[in-house]
Amino acid sequence: MATDQAIGIDIGGTGIKGAVIDLATGELVTHRFKVGTPEGGKPADILRATEGLLTTIDERVGGAKLPLGICFPAVVKQGRTLSAANVSKEWIGLPAEELFEETLGREIHFINDADAAGHAELRYGAAAGVDGLVILTTLGTGIGSALIYDGVLVPNSELGHLEIDGHDAESRAAYSAMERESMSWEKWAKRLQTYYSHVEFIFSPDLFIVGGGVSKHHEQFLPLLKLATPIVPAVHRNNAGILGAAALALH
């Protein structure tokens, strides 16, 4: 088994994505495979969809069972999913890591999706070599977050659920809110300004990193933000979850 490659799978509310990663460089060895997240996001349906995606990836590497990491939109402690963001509430309290291992027939490394993205940026991206506190946020259906202090990731931070002006922060500032309310970049940036100013006040970070699919349009909104903390786009954008999950698969 090649230990310089691993498979990363990123399970989200709308899609399940996976690829083989070169662990030395952080590059994708295969192209990114994707299947839709089954409607309702129930455990049995997601397990079955992930199994199908993994079968496709395995076939591309000649059936070799490479190390496998999976990231998931939930607080993850000791292999259990303690929350459920944009998937069925049936996941709450399940021994999810064990269920995936039984379904897929192999050991996995199982982690929160934003923490996986944080690990990818720490190892291969914008957080590499940065001292102090780095806060990565992923702007998508919700707002995921990863806290990294002097190169050590603090898991399950869930900063998208800070209450700001009586609202769950992600309900007003996530990219999905921009789409849902047909906001301009400028109007959305005002929501982001409120959010990042609040996080900055609480944590006094040394660097903000912004990931998620919308980060490919970072020039449309990041320059509009006025913060004391430097804020930069994630290097690995929407592939960060896949990359981080794969990089952790050998741990």
Look-up: residue for tokens 């662990």?
23
Question: At a CB cut-off of 8 Å and minimum separation 6, what does 156 contact?
Answer: 75, 76, 77, 112, 115
10 Å CB burial of residue 226 (0-12, 13-18, 19+) is exposed
Beta bridge partners of 15: 36
CATH of 5-115+240-247, one of 2.70.98.90, 2.60.120.260, 3.40.50.300, 3.30.420.40: 3.30.420.40
Q: Kind and range of the H or E element at 68?
A: strand 68-72
- Is the pLDDT at 153 greater than 70, yes or no? yes
Question: What type of residue sits at position 214?
Answer: V
List the domain boundaries for the chain: 5-115+240-247, 129-234
Spatial separation of the C-alpha atoms in residues 202 and 147, rounded to whole Å: 13
Which whole-number Å values give the CA distances from 185 to 22, 177, 180, 202, in the listed order? 35, 12, 13, 25
Q: Looking at domain 129-234, what is its CATH homologous superfamily?
A: ATPase, nucleotide binding domain (3.30.420.40)
Spatial separation of the C-alpha atoms in residues 244 and 124, rounded to whole Å: 9
Which of 217, 210, 214 has its CA nearest to residue 235?
210
* Token pair belonging to 177: 């809110």
* Token pair belonging to 171: 């309900």
The overall average pLDDT reported for the chain is 95
Same fold, 5-115+240-247 and 129-234: yes
Reported as a pLDDT band with limits 50, 70 and 90, residue 1 is: very low
DSSP of 140-153 = SSSEEEEEEETTEE
Beta bridge partners of 137: 145, 210
* Token pair belonging to 228: 């004391």
Question: pLDDT by residue (tens digit) across 72-120?
Answer: 999 999 999 999 988 999 999 999 999 999 999 999 999 999 999 999 9
Mean pLDDT of 209-213: 93
Question: pLDDT by residue (tens digit) across 59-68?
Answer: 988 877 899 9
Question: pLDDT by residue (tens digit) across 14-71?
Answer: 899 999 999 999 999 999 999 999 999 999 999 999 999 999 999 988 877 899 999 9
